[in-house]
Structure 1
């Protein structure tokens, strides 16, 4: 089993897609835990606010299999196959960490968003502040302490 962390984002029918992400990921692993769900403005484009959070789970799937399953889930819930990075999302599922795997190729691991975006760092901090980021060597807590704009997030109360 591989301990993995999946970043979840949605800004279309958000409550529905938050619950869909939880249900779909439950089918891919076990021992799921969710961070707090956060409301945040889109980064890099003007649109509706997002709900972002991270789900921790253990999976027996390989990285390739897991990545493929996430794409299938995104398509199932309305993501276009030619979707662009800076646009609205029904459901966006990104592998943030996959065990101790380090990869520069798709999927990039650990995902560089950990170091850039509060909507990834804060939820990861909620789940595993002492976890050491592979190859980087810092803990999630150390990265979180240096993160700016954490105040741009607000907590959303949704029952999973």
Structure 2
């Protein structure tokens, strides 16, 4: 079994899509460890504010299988993929870590660099995995959060 951490966000019918995504994830992966929810402005484009959280699961599923599952859930909840990286979305589910492995899966590097780039990813992760060590930096997620700036763009819901 590997502990995985996911970043989940939505800025279109936010509560509805997050609730439904978590329900589908639970049916596939079991009970989650959930961070508090945070509201943050859209990053990289003009759009409604997002709600973001981090969810943790213990699973035997392989990373590629997980990403296919997440893409299927996203599509089922109306997520449309555009060529633009930054845009509004019904739901976004990103695999952040897969145990302590450093791997590339379907074009994505794990652990995801988003962990150290965005407060809406790092803060919820530090809330639920404060003492876990980022495999590439050797620092805990809490240490990364303590050093992170700016911190003023998140509102805990």
**TM-score between both structures, scaled by the size of structure 2:** 0.94
- Are the counterparts in 2 of residues 29 and 60 from structure 1 also a CA contact under 8 Å? no
Runs of 4+ residues deviating >4 angstroms:
none
Change (3 A) 1:36 1:83: farther
Q: SS at the partner of 1:25?
A: helix
- How much does 1:123 deviate? 0.3
Distance across 2 between alignment mates of 1:147 and 1:129: 14
What per-residue deviation string (whole Å, max 9, x for no partner) do you get for residues 81-140 of structure 1? 445321001000001111112124522110101111100000001101000111221110
Query: Which consecutive unaligned segments of at least 5 residues does structure 2 have?
Result: none
TM-score by length of 1: 0.92
- The residue correspondences of 1:20-99 to structure 2 (distance < 5 A) are 20-82=20-82, 84-99=84-99
Contact map agreement 1:28 1:59 (CA 8 A) in 2: no
In the alignment, what sits opposite 1:5? 5
Paired residues for 1:143-158 under 5 Å = 143-156=144-157
Number of equivalenced pairs: 156
Does residue 112 in structure 1 map to residue 145 in structure 2? no
